[in-house]
Structure 1
């Protein structure tokens, strides 16, 4: 072989090696840890790697200002642990402000309660409208929905009720919520407001989820309405307040039992023995009963009528319209505390 032919062969091998390096999928392997976070100002060449939104990527060819996960130039190498946006992200991000300069990678909370990440530098474009500049962002913990799907995370629940009775479990709440798909549905501001309103009233009724049964036992015999055709088969003194919303009266136990498929009329003690049953009765009342009010507590929140109408639906005959302003204020204060924890405004019409 001549020297020219040998040199040509050597160059050919080198070129093939370069091409293989530039082509996607040649040698890229999923990384165990996150690579250097992607930067919109950096020029990436074929084979360069970067992490973005908790995943590693490899550039297939030259690119700049094209975010991994949004452009075909990037090959997704799978999830990574560390760097970029770590799994421990607590979701505590600032609210979006129109006209503020946001460099790529900025994470903001929009007015709908959801998070968005800037894929490109922008002067404060609306995340919902300017989808080229912003993408929805999910984090692990903090103010975003729990992996269970419920809008309040377990850590937030623990913050709300640090001294709660062990009977009131978070898993019982989540299980009960799954039976009512419209309850605090989604991760929107309204959903978080409804969850905060429900839990604030529950906190008031139970002393911070401490009491399982009603404390004033002198009232027990008064919860049997003997005019009902089904009477009080569990005994005249069996229908006292129980559970998160203190379900009481034989007609409420009968209606809740029929709706939930449980023998609560004949066995009202189930509400103080099973956490999921207790939570279900509370959410059932919230979703379906208007009590002394003109609407259910659920409709009050999703219809924009305000927290005050939830008080009216639960205990308005005794507390609203000046009946007991101290009790009303206690509920309102707790609601404001819970909405703050969930990162949403409490809205208007707080009093009844």
Structure 2
């Protein structure tokens, strides 16, 4: 081979290499999609998942929160994958109206009474789309953005920044968006009375939640030896999920089969047969806490909501939650822990604690 031909060949090779460098990669080869996000899977910091044509990386522990740039901020967007962006939303808006009690397979799309559309993430027997957010998700129809999830504009007296200040070490499961989504179940909560009353009630609720979960750290009861003890077999419905299935879960550590039955009936959720919803869905977890706060008197004589909106005082909320073990001098250190959290939270919310702090 002549030297001239060799030089020409090398020149051609150089051009080819240059072209290979300059020509941009197609979107199809930009990135390989990670394993698809699974709503029931647990993700810890650094784990990845793909969702709607994009890769996402978890910043901390999460479960049940779909990857997006909103919510709690647990997911970091890693860019498109698999050759493109999210496919355009469907243009067919002739989806049927939602009917309570009708069976919906996963993937079903319905028009809710507010005129917005929802898609079933999980099959369900006609649960309400704006309450049962584990079963339903907002759906974009006809090129319009999806419905703002419940709680997107709630007017809640606690801002996300204040919530984060109250719970600096909280578990990623306990999202602010989960809390605000749950508010629709009990619209009178923290919205009854004057501004001071509203702020005091929110602070009282969160102070008790803080104590029950160690600062929103624990999702389930830590003492597993107690798990088999929460099945009251005298109830006619028994314990269909298993004798050890009704242990404490969520912000108020909901426990016992009869409480799961009552809360599920009130919220339209199958908590008696599927108590694990409380530890898998943040909105459901918060709803069970609000159910207890607004409707149950426990060992007390009134609901915690009644105690706060009628000026009875924070001490009566303690009595309604755990008064049999803590009040009337039984455990003053625990009571003081709740009071300390309440005083700190009302300060964050810019109000005063009021009277009758102890029980």
Q: Report if the CA contact (8 A) 1:306-1:350 is conserved.
A: yes
1:217 CA displacement: 1.3
1:345 CA displacement: 0.5
**Structure 2 residues not aligned, in runs of 5+:** 1-150
1:147 CA displacement: 4.8
Residues 349 and 210 from structure 1, CA distance in 2 versus in 1: closer, same or farther, beyond 3 angstroms? same
Aligned length: 208
| Structure 1 residue runs of 4 or more that deviate by more than 2 Å after TM superposition | 145-148
What are the Cα deviations for residues 3-36 of structure 1, in whole angstroms up to 9, with x where unaligned? xxxxxxxxxxxxxxxxxxxxxxxxxxxxxxxxxx
- Counterparts of residues 110-121 of structure 1 (less than 5 Å): none
- Counterparts of residues 305-320 of structure 1 (less than 5 Å): 305-320=312-327
SS of the residue 2:185 aligns to: coil
| Number of the residue aligned with 2:187 | 181
| Number of the residue aligned with 1:267 | 274
In structure 2, distance between residues paired with 1:231 and 1:196: 36
- Counterparts of residues 127-206 of structure 1 (less than 5 Å): 147-185=153-191, 188-206=195-213
2:249 maps to 1:242: yes
- Counterparts of residues 16-165 of structure 1 (less than 5 Å): 147-165=153-171
2:240 maps to 1:233: yes
In structure 2, distance between residues paired with 1:330 and 1:146: 32
Output the TM-score relative to the length of structure 2.
Answer: 0.57
Q: Report if the CA contact (8 A) 1:146-1:152 is conserved.
A: no
1:348 CA displacement: 0.4
In structure 1, distance between residues paired with 2:191 and 2:357: 21
| Number of the residue aligned with 2:356 | 349
In structure 2, distance between residues paired with 1:201 and 1:146: 24
| Number of the residue aligned with 2:224 | 217
In structure 2, distance between residues paired with 1:216 and 1:225: 19
Q: Report if the CA contact (8 A) 2:152-2:180 is conserved.
A: no
In structure 1, distance between residues paired with 2:325 and 2:302: 17
2:287 maps to 1:280: yes
1:178 CA displacement: 1.8
In structure 1, distance between residues paired with 2:218 and 2:197: 28
Q: Report if the CA contact (8 A) 1:232-1:265 is conserved.
A: yes
2:311 maps to 1:304: yes
| Number of the residue aligned with 1:100 | none
1:222 CA displacement: 1.1
2:298 maps to 1:291: yes
1:219 CA displacement: 1.2
| Number of the residue aligned with 1:114 | none
1:211 CA displacement: 0.3
In structure 2, distance between residues paired with 1:177 and 1:301: 17
1:148 CA displacement: 3.1
In structure 1, distance between residues paired with 2:226 and 2:306: 30
In structure 1, distance between residues paired with 2:246 and 2:160: 31
In structure 2, distance between residues paired with 1:185 and 1:259: 20
Q: Report if the CA contact (8 A) 1:220-1:239 is conserved.
A: yes
In structure 2, distance between residues paired with 1:221 and 1:325: 29
1:317 CA displacement: 0.6
Q: Report if the CA contact (8 A) 1:146-1:154 is conserved.
A: no
Computing the radius of gyration from Cα coordinates, the structure with the larger value is 1
